[in-house]
Structure 1
Amino acid sequence: MNSPHAKATARRLPPLNMLRAFEAAARCESVTLAAQELHVTQSAVSHQIKALETWLGVPLVQRSGRGLGLTAEGAAYLPSLRSAFDQMASATARVQRQPRGNTLSVNSMASLSAQWLIPQLASFCAEVPGVDVQLATTVSSTGFDPAAYDVSIRCFTDDELAALRQRAPWRDVELGAFLPNTLTPVCSPQVLAAQPPLLATADVLSRTLLHSRSTPLVWQDWLALAGLPAQQPRHLVTFDHAHLAVQAAVQGMGIALGNPLQLRDELASGLLHTPFPALSLCDRTNYWIMAPQATQNPHAVAFCAWLQRNGSLQEN
């Protein structure tokens, strides 16, 4: 039997399925993509969002044709929901981790994992044989628990890192910068040679620009760096993650913004070119973040040293 105090402090929350449907659709800006992520039908996602709006008594989304936008209430609601789901995912990962001495849990952003970490991970496993690496990817760059994994990898500006270091969960972590996040246009040889020639920075606007929801402002920032007026490109294709935009660039779809330090193989083999290498955004750096409890884990210590060494080698 519940105590009167328990009843008084019980949380009043909408059903989880409603929240998951809205968060996924709002984050993906698409009911279709949300349905694919949640493995349900589009109508099920729409039904759950409508039910949530009824439960809350406020509209959350604006529907126009095939697009999906957020109302002011929906836009204000999304960041807290997204952070809450990230925290639940981190808590779940902590519970699932097996306390074995040879286990190393690593959490990284999807694009860095695909372009840089996974291609090189075999070298770490060769240096430290017998370690069981458990790699998880995430969508949140700042809203996560640094103690949820032995080592987390994130990309921050100096101001973002300074703000995070003021939070209580961050005060006992160890961290180190290991790889600059330098972004410059990258494209295939076919796109580079297409007419009109890609000679001046303004010429990028005549090509298809490959964009990602995970880095929504980078093209805008690069165009400003190049001194180009804010205007729409001839064509824009948007992906969920930056590494998917780069993969589309390899396939000749258009121009993406990529980190040459993470794309050495593609550049060396001629799959990609950097038409304007001198114009690069470089206000962010990748950091390894070691959880307080992982400082006694020799595998975590070795992994961070390996990141530091390999990142420094690529920078030089």
Structure 2
Amino acid sequence: MSATGTTEPTGAGQSAGQSAPPQQAPPPSLTSLRAFSAVGQCQSFTKAAQQLGVTQSAISRQIKLLEEALDITLFHRIGNSISLTPEGASLHQRVFETFGLLDEAVAETRAISARQRINLLAPPTFAARWLTRRLHSFRERFPAYDLAVYTRPHGDIRMDCSVRFGIGAERAGQSTQLLIEQHMAVCAPSLRDDPKAMADSCLFHVLDEEERLPLWDDWFAVSGQARGDFPETSLDFATLEMAIEAAKNGAGLAIVDRHMIEYELAAGSLVPIDQTVVTGPRGYWLEISSEQQARTRSVQFVNWLRSE
């Protein structure tokens, strides 16, 4: 209180003679730090951009923003080469370790949330024609499990088990035979019952890359049928599914694994030309890693699949 009775102004919320604390600079963005971590690890702006799926200019911009925010040079730049400065190396070690911990925490959280989910990798035709028609049994036995079926690998998704099409087991103790192909020559009933229509139709071939699978050659060798008694015209298909659908519509004759046309044979929409069955050599193999063999859900799914 002054002699005149008035209060001297001292500033809002602070005592006389005290100055306001300096404002703290905002932290760098996580985007800039992630870019810095990648560049420091790769020692290359180009490789870091590829790793993060962005452009090189975007990486350069983030590094520039980070250096400006920290008021420090993080990289020595000599021609097309870069290297961390001592200050940059010190920061990179901690940033890299921190992002590693974050990535690990996220992965663990995802694993917890997905603990009742089974990821299966399987060939498209097998998945569509054999597996899907048995899923009601899976749902009845394991109502608490979710099943995700993939027909190609996904880098960020760990598969619990996979079905491989090929010849023989690839990994001892980790591969189990599910099915061996049993090929039959089939067509629509209307075609089989009309010899002239069959003679005027064509043979369907399934391609492996650009080569025809030798299914008809194998069938003729086993059946004893004369090649000259069958149509000379042919059609090539990239997938077995296409050949099956064309055969159902009466467009020609196909060699098909009977496991893939169980429904059509039962319904009569496809019929065998004769009783010849060519077994093998290819088949479907169920594969599960030693790590997944320790997981209850994976073992239960594998046992169910084997029983089917």
Q: What range is the shorter-chain TM-score in?
A: 0.5 to 0.7
Separation in 2, partners of 1:253, 1:197: 10
Asked if 1:283 corresponds to 2:293, the answer is: no
Mean CA deviation greater in 267-276 or 223-232? 223-232
Q: SS of 2:243's equivalent?
A: helix
Separation in 1, partners of 2:197, 2:275: 17
The structure 2 residue matched to 1:245, chosen from 243, 246, 249, is 243
Deviation at 1:233, TM superposition (A): 4.9
Q: SS of 2:260's equivalent?
A: coil
Asked if 1:207 corresponds to 2:201, the answer is: yes
Spell out, residue by residue over 1:99-148, the C-alpha distance to the aligned partner (whole angstroms, 9 max, x if none). 2111000111111112111111121121111211110114x9xxx99x95
CA contact (8 A) 1:155 1:181 kept: no
Please tell me the residue identity of whatever aligns with 2:115. Answer: G
Mean CA deviation greater in 177-186 or 277-286? 277-286
Q: Please name the residue that 1:222 is paired with.
A: 219
Spell out, residue by residue over 1:148-203, the C-alpha distance to the aligned partner (whole angstroms, 9 max, x if none). 51111112223xx3xx33xxxxx7x62211222111111110111122386xxxx7
Please tell me the residue identity of whatever aligns with 1:240. Answer: A
Q: Please name the residue that 2:163 is paired with.
A: 153
Separation in 2, partners of 1:295, 1:277: 40
CA contact (8 A) 1:219 1:257 kept: yes
Q: TM-score, normalised by structure 1?
A: 0.55
Deviation at 1:276, TM superposition (A): 2.5
Q: Please name the residue that 2:252 is paired with.
A: 254
Q: Please name the residue that 2:195 is paired with.
A: 195
Percent identity (aligned): 21
Give unpaired runs (5+ residues) of structure 1.
17-94, 166-170, 311-316
Spell out, residue by residue over 1:224-283, the C-alpha distance to the aligned partner (whole angstroms, 9 max, x if none). 444656999532223221122112211212111212233222112211111233241421
Bigger Rg, structure 1 or 2:
2
Please tell me the residue identity of whatever aligns with 1:309. Answer: S
Please tell me the residue identity of whatever aligns with 2:159. Answer: Y
Q: TM-score, normalised by structure 2?
A: 0.56
CA contact (8 A) 1:209 1:255 kept: yes
Separation in 1, partners of 2:120, 2:165: 15
CA contact (8 A) 1:182 1:284 kept: no
Q: Please name the residue that 1:76 is paired with.
A: none
CA contact (8 A) 1:184 1:281 kept: no
Q: 1:300 to 1:208 in 2, by over 3 A?
A: same
Q: Please name the residue that 1:268 is paired with.
A: 266
Deviation at 1:214, TM superposition (A): 4.1
Q: Please name the residue that 1:183 is paired with.
A: 183
Separation in 1, partners of 2:202, 2:227: 17
Aligned length: 206
Q: Please name the residue that 1:125 is paired with.
A: 139
